[in-house]
Amino acid sequence: MAKQTTLTLQKMKEQGEKITMVTAYDYSSATLAQLAGIDTILVGDSLQMVMLGDDSTIACTMDTMVHHTKAVVKGAPETFIVMDMPFGSYNISQQQAIENASRLMKEGRGDAVKLEGGTDMEHVIKAVVDAGIPVVGHIGLTPQTTAKLGGFKVQGKGEAAKEVLEDALAVERAGACMIVLECVPGELAAFISEKLTIPTIGIGAGNKTDGQVLVYHDLLGLFDKFVPKFVKVYKNIGNEIVEGIKEYISDVKSSAFPEEKHIFGGVSKEDLKDL
C-alpha cells in the first residue's frame, strides 16, 4: 500500500472516504495494523495507562514517546504515524513546543505531532507549524487536562457547544493538518466536520466525522481496566490469550510440554556416560 501523507488524507476528506486510525504503541501491533490496511497510527501518550499501568497520561515523558514511536515506525513504515506530545512538553512556551516537536520528528521519525487544546493553544500550534512540523489538533475531552475538566466527561453539551466549535476553528486557523474530536455530542461533531476543511477524526464523537480512532488494545479486548461507552470490542483476544497461557501452564506442570519435536538432540546416553 502507498504511504499516506497529509495530502492523501486531505484528499480522502474531500472525496468523502473515511479515514481509519488506530492507537498503537509497539512494533508488533503496528506491524499487524499496517498489514490490516490501517490509514494512520497514533502513538498516544495513553501508553502510560495501557502499557505502563498508570491511572492517567500525565507521567508520560518525551523519552517514553520517542522510545515507543521508533518501534511503531519500524513496524509500520508505510503508514502515516502521528505522535502525541506529552503533558508539559509544549505548555510552557512556543520555543519549548518547537524544540520538543522537532525532537519527536527527528528521533521518533513519525509524520506529525499531536497536541491538545483549542483557542488556548492556537499560538503554539501555529508556531510549530511555522517551524515546518505537521500538527494534529485534539479538542473536546483532552485527557491531559481531565483534572481541570472534572474527569472523563463529554464536552460541548448545550451552550458549551460554541466553545468546542471555536476551539476547532482555532486549530484549523493555526494550520493543523487534522483534528481529533473526543467525547463530544455526535451532532456537534458532524457540524464541525462540515465546517472545517481539514479532516476530523472522532473518538466518542458519532459517525459523521471524517474518520475514527480506537485504541488497539480496546478494540481487541486486550485492556479491560475500563471500557468507555464509545469502544466497540471487535475481537476478545484478551480472553484467548489467558486461555492459551493456562494451557501452557497445564502442559508444563504435567510435562506434556515440551514434546519430542521441541527438543534438540545430538547427545546420546553413551555420550553422557563418558562425561
C-alpha cell at 110: 513519525
Q: Is 166 exposed, middle or buried (0-12, 13-18, 19+ CB in 10 A)?
A: middle
Give 116's strand partners.
138
C-alpha cell at 178: 487534522
Catalytic residue among 122, 182, 247, 260: 182
DSSP H or E run through 81: strand 80-84
Of 40, 39, 9, the residue nearest 199 (C-alpha):
9
Q: CA-CA distances (angstroms) from residue 41 to 130, 163, 249?
A: 24, 28, 34
* Cis peptide leading into residue 258 (ω within 30°): yes
How many of the other CB atoms lie within 10 Å of CB of 57?
21
Q: Is 122 a catalytic residue?
A: no
Number of helical H runs and strand E runs in the chain: 12, 8
**Which amino acids are annotated catalytic?**
182
